[in-house]
Structure 1
Amino acid sequence: MKTFLRLLVLLLIAGSFAQASHRPPNVIIFLADDLGYGDLACYGNPIVQTPHLDQFASEGVRLTDCHSGGTVCSPSRAALLTGRNPYRSGFFYIHNRNTYLRDEEVTLAEVLKQEGYETAFWGKWHLSTLEKTRYVHPGPGEQGFDYWMGTTLNAFDKLGGPRSPKAFIKNGEPLGAIDGWYCDVIVDDARDWLANQRHKQKPFFMYVCSHEPHTPIDPPQEYSSRYDNAEVERLEKQIRYGRVNRPQRDLSGYKKDYYGTVNQLDDAFGRLMKTLEEQGLKENTLVLFTSDNGPETPVTLEESRGQWEDPIRDKCFGSPGVLRGMKRYPYEGGHRVPGLVRFPGVIPAGTNSDVLFNGTDILPTVCGLVGAKVPANRNVDGVDASSAFLGQQVRRNDSSIWFFPHHGDTWFRMPQISMRRGHFTLVAWLPKRSDGVLLDEWLATSDPDRVELYDVSVDPAQSNDIASEFPEIVSSMKQEMTSLWREMRDEGLSN
């Protein structure tokens, strides 16, 4: 009865926000880049100081089964904004000349704008190219954002890392080089917009996408120096890296930079939340903090084959915690990420939820909370999963599924697909691509082949393949996986 009443209260409050005469709730989504499930203190990291995110977690719900919509950058961002599995939109890998978020896609910003919201975006876009000097595709302004300031990709520029001057673009116009670290630049502008530039009579949607802790990693010395000591060296030996081997080279001198970067990101997020509170907006704002995928892998597979040396990834000390896999891997560590949600008066403070919440759920969940309609006449894979914020089960039409359809020999040891049904996860490999077969042809004709089954409720590290013990579950899940894979793949390849 207590559980039912809590869920009823959530639905009633959400409905009252949407129907009352006063302004409906504001929405802020803060997306970190390559932040691992085990990178925050509130998720068990024994090294990194994240006091602002820890405090934020104590004021809302900590999701322990939160997932990005993809295992790599562009796909997960497409899923977040559209509520659709990114492969329906053609995002099999990342944005390029032929892969971008098309006009016909309906974004969360467009939905909320129709509901009278003022919409704003900051940071890494990675769904099309923003620079007018190159090929032009729809950018944030064409995808529903009234105000935007950002970059196409990360802090990769001619001058180096995230502290170098960066060529930001604002509302389609180049700003020239802006000196400062990426998260500080975008958060400072977002705070100014929040305090001085927005329409004070409108509800707002803010989408803030940091570069950190994506490579290149180069935090201010005041942050990295906090982690340059023997105790950090001792504790780092306890950190897990998803069963992905570290390079044999000694990279120990770089760990301080990764930890300092996460610490810096925490401070930037804290400043944004402080401005929100100073403006008297904390109580009427839903804030979601999460990551676009698991932590970046060290250069291991490529290095072992003598194919690639990439010193830019030597500073990658992100951790998926107890999970298996990292960025790109369909194993849990590639897409299970931190998920912190605060909505005062609606979400009980200091709670935890082990109910699965997926990146595709963000659009329909926000729609449900503000009383907006989910875009019709299209396949929306996410569902209104607001009950997960109270620890209550979510009703889904289909199982959640993630892809990384790589095709090179280097990555062939890694599966390409995973699917969750309850506490069971099925991971699968596509057949190896034959020499001379084009990628599109291989994708269009390949179905899940070899599989493994894990019970992540008791084996989050996915170390015990139980496929032989549950043949009926394997058969049923593989059939559903194949059906979903074909449907989403074929829709994506037709774009």
Structure 2
Amino acid sequence: MKPLLRRMPLLCSIALLLLACCVAQASDRPPNVIIFLADDLGYGDLACYGNPIVQTPNLDRFAREGVRLTDCHAGGTVCSPSRAALLTGRNPYRSGFFYIHGKDTYLKDEEVTLAEVLKDQGYETGFWGKWHLSTLEKTHYVHPGPSEQGFDYWMGTTLNAFDKLGGPRRPKAFIKNGEPVGTVDAWYCDVIVDDARDWLVNQRSKQKPFFMYVCSHEPHTPIDPPAEYSNRYDNAEVDQLEKQTQYGQISRPKKDISDNKKDYYGTVNQLDDAFGRLMKTLEEEGLRENTLVLFTSDNGPETPVTVEESLGQWEDPIRDKCFGSPGVLRGMKRFPYEGGHRVPGLVRLPGVIPAGTESHVLFNGTDILPTVCGLTGANVPTNRNVDGVDASDAFLGRTVQRGHSAIWFYPHHGDTWFRMPQISMRQGDLTLIAWLPKRTEGVSLDEWFATSDPDRVALYDVSIDPGQSNDIASKHPEIVSSMKKEMTALWREMRDEGLSK
């Protein structure tokens, strides 16, 4: 075994070289790239991930045409940090996405994005949907927006549909290439997919490879799908199945919100149809065979307001329609437990990724940039810390070599959410969960954040305990000591780099 272990880096390099060669031989030019990012879609929300209720025929078919990742993770546990990680390949704390107080957080112009890297490689780039990395309405005089971050064409919104310019059914006014286009009278996923399809058919340069980044609002709140979708889930069978659904060991609200479940399931169904239309257009344009398509989510599913409710804080009826599930995993959106960041991951590249396969190898949101670079011949930025690696071997079910363990932070300070841990780190199948010490009276939030290190910890083996219900830390003190040392070093390095911005 020892000679084989010494040869593993060489074998992995050979596998990556063969994969890149397959891509190059499939066409005279590098593959097109489409990343479709759902919002708050849980690990257990799709039929192809075991959901017995929601109809997702288009994504199920897509899964059969490529690889289904069972250990795919967002780069963060909430929206903006995950999106920053996806575009930069860096842990979002390096980019300053702490969310510890009301500071104005946005993706700085100094960050190098996947769009910029591919644009330098000769790609035409386009973005649609929820940006959530700056204020688009002020992009020319306050924040860098999609144009400044490498996108040739874009149509999007600053955050989601919460603001005064839109409502639950009608999205807010869109901004296109920096100019307002008015409130669009349609559902969010339909608007962005239809515009993306039009760009694909009529507006892009046919002489260039392209990169499309499509970010749906669904199934983020507010949730209010067309009646034709929600009505499919208004029946006794769904009522019974929902009672068996797991919600990451998080209790449901004391009040009865069961009538709302049909709207959540209908929204996921609607999202599936929108994705299916985009894939149909791709095929009609003859682009299916030379296009890498990755479908994933920005974090785990949203919870009803049960955490806040248990602390005697507030109610938020808009979240009473949240019936997303992390499947067997523990935690949901915001939680550093697996359910907060392990998400669906479906990848297709015909002729390179075998159809109908399944991979249990960890793939992280920070891996997207270096992996796409490896498959397209683009260069990974070398003048900054990039945490992700070229993890294309994960698409083939092969081991991925990493420079350090994958790590996730819950970007809140812990006073209100002190019962929730703030950090998790994966080393193989072992996950170390950690809490920062409680902030003492008189210590400012900034001082607490800048000086605190991981304190209390728990250890789980997710290969046999995906629900993270059996803390084995006391049985493995040496492993805990070693992992906590690495966690502390990564925490300090990433936090301090972000604080320096």
Q: Give the alignment partner of residue 372 of structure 1, picking from 375, 378, 390.
A: 378
> Structure 2 length as normaliser, TM-score?
0.95
1:415 aligns to 2:421 (yes or no): yes
Partner residue of 2:439? 433
1:180 aligns to 2:186 (yes or no): yes
1:480 aligns to 2:486 (yes or no): yes
* Cα distance per residue 1:335-361 (max 9 Å; x no partner): 000000000000000000000000000
Partner residue of 1:397? 403
1:320 aligns to 2:320 (yes or no): no
Deviation (angstroms), 1:221: 0.3
Partner residue of 2:355? 349
Partner residue of 1:46? 52
* 1:344 alignment partner, SS class: coil
C-alpha distance in 1 between matches for 2:292 and 2:225: 29
Partner residue of 1:67? 73
Q: Give the alignment partner of residue 466 of structure 1, picking from 464, 469, 472.
A: 472
Partner residue of 2:157? 151
Task: Say whether the 8 Å CA contact 1:74–1:94 is kept in structure 2.
Answer: no
1:306 aligns to 2:312 (yes or no): yes
Partner residue of 1:229? 235
C-alpha distance in 2 between matches for 1:96 and 1:102: 17
Q: Give the alignment partner of residue 105 of structure 2, picking from 99, 104, 123.
A: 99
* 1:457 alignment partner, SS class: coil
1:96-135 superposed matches below 5 A: 98-132=104-138
Task: Say whether the 8 Å CA contact 2:26–2:290 is kept in structure 1.
Answer: no
Task: Say whether the 8 Å CA contact 1:323–1:461 is kept in structure 2.
Answer: yes
Task: Say whether the 8 Å CA contact 2:22–2:351 is kept in structure 1.
Answer: no
* 1:314 alignment partner, SS class: helix
Partner residue of 1:447? 453
Task: Say whether the 8 Å CA contact 1:72–1:292 is kept in structure 2.
Answer: yes
C-alpha distance in 1 between matches for 2:102 and 2:112: 20
Partner residue of 2:346? 340
Deviation (angstroms), 1:12: 2.7
Deviation (angstroms), 1:96: 6.8
Q: Give the alignment partner of residue 257 of structure 1, picking from 240, 249, 263.
A: 263
For the structure 1 residues 133 and 481, does the alpha-carbon distance in structure 2 shift closer, same or farther, using more than 3 Å as the test? closer
Deviates more, 1:252-261 or 1:93-102: 93-102
1:199 aligns to 2:205 (yes or no): yes
Partner residue of 1:23? 29
1:424 aligns to 2:430 (yes or no): yes
* 2:262 alignment partner, SS class: helix
Deviates more, 1:20-29 or 1:100-109: 20-29
For the structure 1 residues 427 and 250, does the alpha-carbon distance in structure 2 shift closer, same or farther, using more than 3 Å as the test? same
* 1:142 alignment partner, SS class: coil
* 2:136 alignment partner, SS class: coil
C-alpha distance in 1 between matches for 2:450 and 2:96: 13
> Structure 1 length as normaliser, TM-score?
0.96
5+ residue gaps, structure 2, are none
Task: Say whether the 8 Å CA contact 1:95–1:127 is kept in structure 2.
Answer: no
* Cα distance per residue 1:462-483 (max 9 Å; x no partner): 0000000000000000000000
* 1:323 alignment partner, SS class: coil
Partner residue of 1:489? 495
C-alpha distance in 2 between matches for 1:16 and 1:454: 38
1:205-220 superposed matches below 5 A: 205-220=211-226
Task: Say whether the 8 Å CA contact 2:66–2:346 is kept in structure 1.
Answer: yes
Deviates more, 1:406-415 or 1:123-132: 406-415
Task: Say whether the 8 Å CA contact 1:405–1:417 is kept in structure 2.
Answer: no
Task: Say whether the 8 Å CA contact 1:130–1:136 is kept in structure 2.
Answer: no
- Which amino acid in the other structure matches residue 426 of structure 1? L
C-alpha distance in 1 between matches for 2:444 and 2:30: 50
* Cα distance per residue 1:266-311 (max 9 Å; x no partner): 0000000000000000000000000000000110121223311110
Task: Say whether the 8 Å CA contact 1:61–1:347 is kept in structure 2.
Answer: yes
* 1:348 alignment partner, SS class: coil
Task: Say whether the 8 Å CA contact 1:112–1:372 is kept in structure 2.
Answer: yes
For the structure 1 residues 174 and 58, does the alpha-carbon distance in structure 2 shift closer, same or farther, using more than 3 Å as the test? same
Aligned length: 494
- Which amino acid in the other structure matches residue 380 of structure 1? V
* 1:320 alignment partner, SS class: coil
Q: Give the alignment partner of residue 91 of structure 2, picking from 74, 77, 85.
A: 85
Deviation (angstroms), 1:16: 5.6
Deviation (angstroms), 1:136: 1.9
Partner residue of 1:267? 273
For the structure 1 residues 97 and 137, does the alpha-carbon distance in structure 2 shift closer, same or farther, using more than 3 Å as the test? farther
Deviation (angstroms), 1:13: 4.6
- Which amino acid in the other structure matches residue 299 of structure 1? V
1:56 aligns to 2:62 (yes or no): yes
Task: Say whether the 8 Å CA contact 1:10–1:346 is kept in structure 2.
Answer: no
Task: Say whether the 8 Å CA contact 1:95–1:128 is kept in structure 2.
Answer: no
Task: Say whether the 8 Å CA contact 1:7–1:387 is kept in structure 2.
Answer: no
C-alpha distance in 2 between matches for 1:439 and 1:134: 32
Q: CA RMSD in A?
A: 2.0
Deviation (angstroms), 1:17: 4.1
1:329 aligns to 2:335 (yes or no): yes
For the structure 1 residues 95 and 384, does the alpha-carbon distance in structure 2 shift closer, same or farther, using more than 3 Å as the test? farther
C-alpha distance in 1 between matches for 2:179 and 2:102: 21
Deviation (angstroms), 1:373: 1.1
1:190 aligns to 2:225 (yes or no): no
C-alpha distance in 1 between matches for 2:189 and 2:281: 15
Deviation (angstroms), 1:94: 8.9
Deviation (angstroms), 1:163: 2.1
For the structure 1 residues 351 and 237, does the alpha-carbon distance in structure 2 shift closer, same or farther, using more than 3 Å as the test? same
C-alpha distance in 1 between matches for 2:268 and 2:466: 24
C-alpha distance in 2 between matches for 1:295 and 1:312: 14
Deviation (angstroms), 1:84: 0.3
C-alpha distance in 1 between matches for 2:446 and 2:140: 26
